[in-house]
């Protein structure tokens, strides 16, 4: 079995406590043994990152951008191998895994050029012989904690812009994708990062490495933390960041709505709903949660939708490239998903399709042997109303709830009546309804006649309400999360000049009465 180490200050550092990374589709297939970093090792990583920051921040921004370009080339070279590893480890289909890796490549391409565009401004002064200017400055040491469902794309959203703006990193990747994360880290190093600029500590979350990294804010060893994960954990991280006057990046959960109006192209809407609900086995923060159907098309849509659901192929994505989705990332996620069946039944929802875990006697359209991993049946609930827990609760798995409404006003009000606000979608050909939706929906991201899922490297990603704290990933908007503005007042006059007090405001001359010309 291959044994891996933490990366601290450019050196391999092992831990006494370890854990195993497994193939999600075949749990007997072990990818490697990984360290579970302890508190002292996390502290060492932060110290190394501070030393790395002192070097990296002085590297000219265009050179930092060039190194980001080198990283992008390395990832592009290894795209297929990295995609295969990703699919094997966390169970994503190869098509999706390749998209995951491509997102990181796109992110590198975008931010390479941002190294030459970290513009400040020159500002006119109200005084003579004085220059005012502004500069973007890096924050310092950034702690990064990421989830396992997008083990390359999501870390790249945080790490790449943080690096190009001059920060150093301590990254705690998900223990559910340790092998993929290690490979990604080595490709980041390959690009030419100085020792200590990127530090990687492996391990668990609560009571382990992730919690230790959050504690580093109270020790004043982190200037910023960026987190992707559950809303509950995000709130705790926000509390720690708040008392340290730090603004965290929090990309959290979602209960994402898709509205299908009476005038929609139903075949197109069914295709969008099928992918949004069941792509990646529903293990996306942007997966479809509540399918909101306008009353006139409610029954027809369900008929078409169920017809497609019953054809979904499930299995090991490495062995079968034609499956729509593979296994749960781990048993913990499976058990949390399985519990929603009891919740929905207690609510009084109607089960239209779904039979919990796929087994030899309950195979649906499963290909292969389902006992090798945790595979969930595609699940559809109908008769769901706003007061039900199944309507309000994020279900991280292949499940969708159907809600009947009457008209655009009720549809939008229903979509907004959850505590989340990440992604959203509407299917309609009525431009006024589409405008009303994008104007009134409470979400960070919206699609018109498209799925709730999907992101591009140059668009902002993030949510509102319980889905985030207003920060955004990707595109030019993310630069604000990893820099602060520095205003410089350069006095050239050789004397003290006081704004607002010594300013030579123009004197008002005698008033001119236009009516005197009449």
**Residue 131 backbone dihedrals phi, psi, to 5 degrees:** -115, 135
> Which uninterrupted H or E stretch holds 309?
helix 298-309
Domain ranges of the chain: 6-252+471-485, 256-457
Q: CA angle, 278 as apex, 379 and 310 as ends, to 5°?
A: 55
Q: Write down the residue that tokens 């609930």 correspond to.
A: 381
From 257, 363, 378, select the one nearest 306 (Cα to Cα).
Answer: 378
Which residue is catalytic, options 46, 108, 114, 285?
Answer: 285
C-alpha–C-alpha distance, residues 250 and 233, integer Å: 10
Q: Is 437 within 8 Å of 259 (Cβ atoms)?
A: yes
Q: Which two tokens stand for residue 113?
A: 């050029």
The CA–CA distances, whole Å, from 9 to 50, 190, 439 equal: 10, 14, 48
Count of C-beta atoms within a 10 Å radius of residue 346 = 11
Name which CATH class applies to 256-457: alpha beta
**Given phi > 0 = left and psi -120 to 50 = alpha, else beta, which region is 513?**
beta
Q: Kindly write down the DSSP assignment for every residue of 236-288, as one continuous string.
A: HHHHHHHHTT---EEE----EEEEE-TTS-HHHHHHHHHHHHHGGGG-STTSE
Render each residue's pLDDT in the chain as its tens digit; 518 residues: 899 999 999 999 999 999 999 999 999 999 999 999 999 999 999 999 999 999 999 999 999 999 999 999 999 999 999 999 999 999 999 999 999 999 999 999 999 999 999 999 999 999 999 999 999 999 999 999 999 999 999 999 999 999 999 999 999 999 999 999 999 999 999 999 999 999 999 999 999 999 999 999 999 999 999 999 999 999 999 999 999 999 999 999 999 999 999 999 999 999 999 999 999 999 999 999 999 999 999 999 999 999 999 999 999 999 998 999 999 999 999 999 999 999 999 999 999 999 999 999 988 899 999 999 999 999 999 999 999 999 999 999 999 999 999 999 999 999 999 999 999 999 999 999 999 999 999 999 999 999 999 888 899 999 999 999 999 999 999 999 999 999 999 999 999 999 999 999 888 888 889 999 98
Answer yes or no: 285 catalytic. Answer: yes
Q: Is 437 within 8 Å of 446 (Cβ atoms)?
A: yes
| CATH architecture of the domain with range 6-252+471-485 | 3-Layer(aba) Sandwich (3.40)
Which residue is catalytic, options 114, 251, 394, 473?
Answer: 251
Q: Which two tokens stand for residue 256?
A: 């994402």
Query: 61-77 and 178-190 helices cross at what angle (nearest 10)?
Result: 130
């Amino acid at each position: 079995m291959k044994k891996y180490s933490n990366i601290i200050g450019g050196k391999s550092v092992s831990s006494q406590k370890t854990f195993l990374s497994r193939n999600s589709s075949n749990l007997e297939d072990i990818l490697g043994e990984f360290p579970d970093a302890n508190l002292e090792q996390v502290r060492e990583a932060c110290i190394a990152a501070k030393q790395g920051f002192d070097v990296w921040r002085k590297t000219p921004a265009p050179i930092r951008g060039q190194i980001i370009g080198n990283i992008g080339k390395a990832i592009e070279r290894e795209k297929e191998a990295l995609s295969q590893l990703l699919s094997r480890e966390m169970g994503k289909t190869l098509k999706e895994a390749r998209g995951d890796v491509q997102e990181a490549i796109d992110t590198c391409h975008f931010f390479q050029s941002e190294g030459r565009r970290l513009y400040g401004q020159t500002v006119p002064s109200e005084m003579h012989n004085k220059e005012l200017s502004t500069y973007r400055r890096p924050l310092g040491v950034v702690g990064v904690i990421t989830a396992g469902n997008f083990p390359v794309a999501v870390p790249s959203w945080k790490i790449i812009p943080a690096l190009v703006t001059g920060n150093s990193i301590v990254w705690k990747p998900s223990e559910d994708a340790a092998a993929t994360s290690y490979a990604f880290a080595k490709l980041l190093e390959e690009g030419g990062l100085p020792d200590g600029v990127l530090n990687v500590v492996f391990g668990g979350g609560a009571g382990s490495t992730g919690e230790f990294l959050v504690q580093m804010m109270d020790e004043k060893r982190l200037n910023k933390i960026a987190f992707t994960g559950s809303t509950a954990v995000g709130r705790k991280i926000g509390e720690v960041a708040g008392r340290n006057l730090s603004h965290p990046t929090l990309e959290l959960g979602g209960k994402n709505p898709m509205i299908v109006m009476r005038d929609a192209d139903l075949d197109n809407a069914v295709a969008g709903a099928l992918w949004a609900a069941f792509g990646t086995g529903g293990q996306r923060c942007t997966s479809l949660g509540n399918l909101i159907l306008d009353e006139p098309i409610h029954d027809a849509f369900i008929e078409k939708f169920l017809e497609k659901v019953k054809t979904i192929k499930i299995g090991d994505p490495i062995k079968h490239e034609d499956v729509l989705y593979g296994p749960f990332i781990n048993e913990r996620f499976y058990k949390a998903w399985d519990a929603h069946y009891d919740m929905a039944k207690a609510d009084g929802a109607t089960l239209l399709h779904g039979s919990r875990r796929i087994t030899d006697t309950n195979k649906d359209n499963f290909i292969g042997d389902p006992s090798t991993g945790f595979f969930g049946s595609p699940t559809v609930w109908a008769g769901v109303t706003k007061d039900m827990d199944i309507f309000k609760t994020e279900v991280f798995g292949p499940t969708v709830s159907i809600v009947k409404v009457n008209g655009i006003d009720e549809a939008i009000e229903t979509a907004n009546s959850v505590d989340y606000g990440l992604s959203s979608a509407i299917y309609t050909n009525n431009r006024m309804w589409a405008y009303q939706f994008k104007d009134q929906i409470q979400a960070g991201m919206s699609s018109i006649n498209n799925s709730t899922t999907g992101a591009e490297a140059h668009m902002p990603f993030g949510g509102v309400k319980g889905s985030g704290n207003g920060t955004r990933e990707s595109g030019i908007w993310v630069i604000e999360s990893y820099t602060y503005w520095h205003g410089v007042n350069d006095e050239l006059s050789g004397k003290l000049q006081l704004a607002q007090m010594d300013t030579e405001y123009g004197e008002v001359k005698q008033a001119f009465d236009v009516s005197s010309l009449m």
